Amino acid sequence: MATEDKFGAEARLKTKSGEYTYYSLPALGKKLGIDFQKLPYSIRVLLESCLRNLDDFIVSEDDVKNIAGWDAKNVKQVEIPFTPGRVVLQDFTGVPAVVDLAALRAAMVRMGGDPTKINPLVQCDLVIDHSVQVDAFASRFALQTNVDIEFERNQERYQFLRWGQQAFDNFRVVPPATGIVHQVNLEYLANGTLVKDGVVYPDSLVGTDSHTTMINGLGVVGWGVGGIEAEAVMLGQPIYMLLPEVVGFKLTGKLPEGATATDLVLMVTQMLRKHGVVGKFVEYFGPGLNSMSLPDRATLANMAPEYGATMGFFPVDHETVQYLLRTGRDKAAAELMEEYFKAQEMFHTVDSPDPEFTSTLELDLSTVVPSMAGPKRPQDRILLTDMKSQFEKDLKETFDKPTMTAPVDIEGSDDVAITDGAVVIAAITSCTNTSNPSVMLAAGLVAQKAAAKGLKPKPWVKTSLAPGSRVVTEYLEKSGLDKSLDELGFQTVGYGCTTCIGNSGPLPDPIANAIVKGDLVASAVLSGNRNFEGRINQHIKANYLASPPLVVAYAIAGSTDVDLVTEPLGQDQDGNDVFLKDIWPTQKEIIDTMAGAITPEMFVEQYSHAADGPPEWQAIESSEGSLYEWEDKSTYVQEPPFFVDMPLTPGPVESITGARVLVSVGDSTTTDHISPAGAIKPDSPAGLYLQENGIGPKDFNSYGSRRGNDRVMTRGTFANIRLKNLLCPGTEGGVTKYLPTDEQTSIYDAAMKYKEAGTPLVVLAGAEYGTGSSRDWAAKGTYLLGVKAVIAASYERIHRSNLVGMGVLPLQFRESESRESLGLDGSETFDIQLDDNLKPQQTIEVTATKTNGDVVHFTTVCRIDTPVEVEYYRNGGILHTVLRQLAKN
């Protein structure tokens, strides 16, 4: 908190629950002569954070003035510190974060320091939600079977997390089978305000998942960061960022009959991607907010990574406060939130003046129509009326193949065949939509109406329902719609992130075999937010995002090569055609069902046991003490080499010479392509490593579950089956060319040969390098392979930051240049000119020497963006910087 009140902003707030200190923005405005009514609400939260934490060391008077002087049309390129109030973690990224904390403690002991200095200084909540996989489905036993398999696969990881639970202060674990991190955050963890040492201030956070932004729907500033940045915040470091531009998105009207929040978010995603909002805040405003429920807002906020923004923010208003009460929050907490935000003149009403924005877009909600997105990107929206024609076009142009058919041997079904477009996965998957009762109950109503007419999913469709919290199950049961969903095969398979991150589980063998033999472009239809190539399932090439009720409809239709608007879904018991319009619920039906099915008591009951977990969790035994006892034989948790033999003082910044290209990739290479994710192939370097350590393929588990073991993860970096390395034209997967001998080999094996020879490595890339989820291993793995620099046309925000956080140099081609215009084919040897006077965003000279001796000189922009990032790079990474600071103290 602030050490002295230099702006005369300290004030007292008297509420029904007590009296608090707060740092008044209206008082600051008077002091500076600035009217904050035109300042975006999201910027006001950043301003309050700096004002409250002003200490003339980490936060200066200039930081406060820079944010207070935010100019919509001329946003200064200045660095500001932001100190989030808390951190949320999911287990895929949370486990390596806790592994790093344990490794920092071990390193602190080696440096002669106190290991308990390594301790979260802000509240950290880890929700175990990414480890469940859809192995069992369409069965009343599916949930328990998947839970049993989850605990069997992840015993070592869960033992480690239970150790962390007792070893660290300010660290809570929400056990498996409870819910997904974003929904648990929205429904339970967030209270709108935080109180520390008698000071009240806005809730704010960072999270280790891109979709942390769902909480923006509750008026909470927060976004996804890599595990590397999150760990720094846990250890008391602020997030350093450039003062952001804010794009205003004006909403008017209200959604029409037949349209859902999912349709809205797909339309907004398309609009904002076209507008360009990468690295910017998006803030929603306008009269349309008055007709929008908080779950609808959360659905829009959740998709911020898909439209490229840092946040998709909604200001606090009456609906925000009412949502806290509807979800069983303490009445005093809701009242405190309202009184605090009103005192700060940050409470939005219909009479509030519109803020000024860097740029604006506008959407009349009444123009939203049913739509989907795919087959590879969430911004590629397709009107439902155009789905059939668009699929047929994509089959020819995107997938370059004629329509094919393959027979399927399905038990109990005669003469079954599937064609291109066959929907083999229909998943109501947690995250974007399962926090929204309107679309979940709409799916239940579609199922109810379909079941009443005798409709069933096609036998080749793998159906699943993964609620975002147990509250969803309770209101589906109370409405009676769970029975209809069960009847159509949408039994609950688990509480956690499933199909959307590739935890869809294997397809039944007959289906997988038919796809392979027929070389089919099979489809998945899911209600999540990510449908990148190779992500959902290795056998599925066409993936479409859709609302939960449309997921049910496509399970019945069985193909995306169908026009659901004009063609029947199937026939009823009497042989009559049944169309989508015949089973689609009205808005009144949805609203009436919601009114009778959801109560605040449901949230109170379900979350009162959130910390307990299922019996399987409670039965886990783990080690105790402040230091973790690393086990050499563990294939899940190992001490990473980041801090081993690290000197107390870093050396100078030096040039990178004689570097060779390890990987050369095109535009939109995602963190899914870079970071180990999904299944581990037996013949891959990671698979061979596990087999050498006595682990058979059936027990491989996923890369995500083994993020605590650097030996697995390094071998899986750049190993995605859809990776196209331009050094090896015509290939897919984790292969490269070892340039000294022209030998084609795995990326990992080539990297180890280069390492043995002392050769530094670089990556060449196109535009939007590192888009997708905030995967810290995309940077960690890159670093451990020996990559010293990446040269790309442009970067996704989080991945660029993570590269710096691991001591990897991100360079960017100038706008007028590219790898192609410079004639770089990746066979060159690179020299990068650096010295100890490195400055943020300075120009860096690069020399590429071709095999025939020709030399290409070009200038790049150093994408180390802030002075603090220079220090991180100088120290070899953000955690190295923190460790040295703590050790010196």
Mean pLDDT of the chain: 95
pLDDT at 39: 97
* pLDDT tens-digit map of 25-59: 999 999 999 999 999 999 999 999 999 999 887 89
691: exposed, middle or buried (Cβ count in 10 Å: 0-12, 13-18, 19+): middle
According to the model, what pLDDT value does residue 2 have? 52
Cα(610)–Cα(170) distance, integer angstroms: 17
**Residue 3 pLDDT > 70, yes or no?**
no
What distance in Å separates the CA atoms of residue 732 and residue 724, rounded to the nearest whole number? 5
Q: Which residue has the higher pLDDT, 660 or 1?
A: 660
Per-position DSSP letters for 68-104, written without gaps between them: HT--TTS----EEEE--SEEEEEHHHHHHHHHHHHHH
Using CA atoms, how far apart are residues 721 and 684, in angstroms rounded to an integer?
Answer: 10
Mean pLDDT of 285-300: 97
549-586 pLDDT, tens per residue?
999 999 999 999 999 999 999 999 999 999 999 999 99
In angstroms, the CA 270 to CA 272 distance is: 6
Q: Which two structure tokens, joined as six digits, stand for 295? A: 């779950």
* Beta pairing class for 829-832 and 656-664: antiparallel
Q: Which of 886, 696, 887, 882 is closest to 230 using CA atoms?
A: 882
Average pLDDT, integer, range 758-768 = 97
pLDDT at 888: 86
pLDDT of 786 strictly over 90:
yes
Q: At what angle do helices 227-234 and 91-110 cross, to 10 degrees?
A: 60
pLDDT of 180 strictly over 80: yes
> What is the mean pLDDT of the segment spanning 591-614?
95
What is the C-alpha to C-alpha distance for residues 571 and 494, in angstroms, rounded to an integer?
31
Per-residue pLDDT at 512 exceeds 70: yes
Confidence of residue 774 (pLDDT cuts 50, 70, 90): low
Task: Classify residue 78 by burial, with Cβ atoms within 10 Å: 0-12, 13-18, 19+.
Answer: middle
Structure tokens at 392: 């047929």
Burial of 258 (0-12, 13-18, 19+ CB in 10 A): middle
Q: Is the pLDDT of residue 151 over 60?
A: yes
pLDDT band at 714 (very low <50, low <70, confident <90, very high): very high
Taking alpha carbons only, the member of 794, 791, 826, 795 closest to residue 811 is 791
- Going by C-alpha positions, the residue among 639, 633, 735 that lies closest to residue 692 is 633
Model pLDDT, residue 382: 98
Residue 359 has pLDDT above 80, yes or no: yes
End-to-end CA distance of the chain: 20
Q: What is the DSSP string of 577-633?
A: EE-HHHHPPPHHHHHHHHHHH--HHHHHHHHTTTTT--HHHHT-----SSS----TT
Q: Residue 548 pLDDT > 80, yes or no?
A: yes
Residue 701: per-residue pLDDT: 83
When pLDDT is averaged across residues 264-290 and rounded to a whole number, the result is 97
List strands edge to edge, sheet with 221-224. 171-174, 123-127, 86-90, 204-207, 221-224
State pLDDT tens for residues 809-865: 999 999 999 999 999 999 999 999 999 999 999 999 999 999 999 999 999 999 998
Residue 863's nearest CA partner among 886, 830, 838 is 838
Determine the average pLDDT of the residues in 104-126: 93
**Domains of the chain listed by start with CATH number:** 10-67 (no CATH), 86-367 (3.30.499.10), 371-598 (3.30.499.10), 641-888 (3.20.19.10)
Contact, 430 vs 183, CB < 8 A? Answer: yes
Helix (H, G, I), strand (E, B) or coil at 240: strand
Sign of the alpha-carbon torsion through 673, 678, 680, 686: positive
Residue 1 has pLDDT above 60, yes or no: no
